[in-house]
Each structure stands twice: as C-alpha cells, then as structure tokens.
Amino acid sequence: MPKVDVKKIIQELIVPELQEIKSSVNELKTKFDSEIKRLDEKIDLVKNELKSEINGLKVELKRLAALESKVASLIK
C-alpha cells in the first residue's frame, strides 16, 4: 500500500481553498463596510434636514404665538 502524505494533500488542496475563502470574506467585509458608511452618511443627511425643518417650524410657531397674542389683545 502506497504511503499517503496527508500534510502535502492538505497543503495542495485545502490551504488554497481556505485562502480563497478568506480573500472572498475580506472582499465582502470591505463592501459591507463601504455600504454601512454610505448609509450612515445618508442617515446623517436626513437627520440634519429634519433638524432644519424642526427649527423652521419652531420659528413659525413662535411667530404664530406672537400673532395670537396680538389678536387676543386687540379683541380685549
């Protein structure tokens, strides 16, 4: 019976496959990180737009309250 060199078989067959899998995982991680960054930037943009809208509404509410106060004083 011929001698089987298990170490050589592993190095020739298994190790290259594992290296390819590792490379694929790293590529996916890079893409995933990039997508997360892009989504974070979009979220920040929307958050800033909402803050701006809310601040604008606060100003309008203050103006309406002042107008309401003037109308109420005129009615009295």
Q: For 27-48, what is each residue's pLDDT tens digit?
A: 999 999 999 999 999 999 999 9
pLDDT tens digits for 49-70? Answer: 999 999 999 999 999 999 999 9
Tokens of 52: 């701006």
* SS3 of residue 27 by DSSP: helix
